[in-house]
Amino acid sequence: MHFRMKWFPVCPRLFRALCPAPVLILMLTGEVCGQSQEQIKTILRPSDSKKIEKADAQTGYAEKLMEEAKQLDNEVFSVKVSRELDDKAKRKKVRQLERRSRQKIIAASDLYQLRNQIKYKVYKTYIEKFWKQYEGSQDPYLDALKVEELSNDLYYQAGMERTEAMTLHAGYEKTGKLKQAIESENLAIEKQLTVLGMYYNIRQE
Query: Each residue of 97-106: b (16+ CB within 10 Å) or e?
Result: bbeebbbbbb
Q: What is the mean pLDDT of residues 29-41?
A: 68
Neighbours of 172 (CB within 10 A): 13
Q: What is the mean pLDDT of residues 65-81?
A: 96
Confidence band, pLDDT 50/70/90 cuts, at residue 171: confident
Query: 36-40, 42-46, 154-158, 179-183: which range is least confident on average?
Result: 36-40
Residue-level pLDDT at 4: 55
Q: DSSP string of 119-140? A: HHHHHHHHHHHHHHH--S-SGG
> CA–CA separation, 184 vs 145, rounded Å?
18
Query: 18-22, 69-73, 134-138: which range is least confident on average?
Result: 18-22
The model's pLDDT over 90-123, given as tens digits with 9 standing for 90+, comes to 999 999 999 999 999 999 999 999 999 999 999 9
Q: For the chain, give me the number of helices (H) and strands (E)?
A: 8, 0
Give CA 145 to chain center in angstroms. 19
> CA–CA separation, 80 vs 186, rounded Å?
34
Residue-level pLDDT at 34: 55
Confidence band, pLDDT 50/70/90 cuts, at residue 152: very high
Look at residue 30 and tell me whether its pLDDT is greater than 60: no
Residue-level pLDDT at 162: 97
Residue-level pLDDT at 36: 87
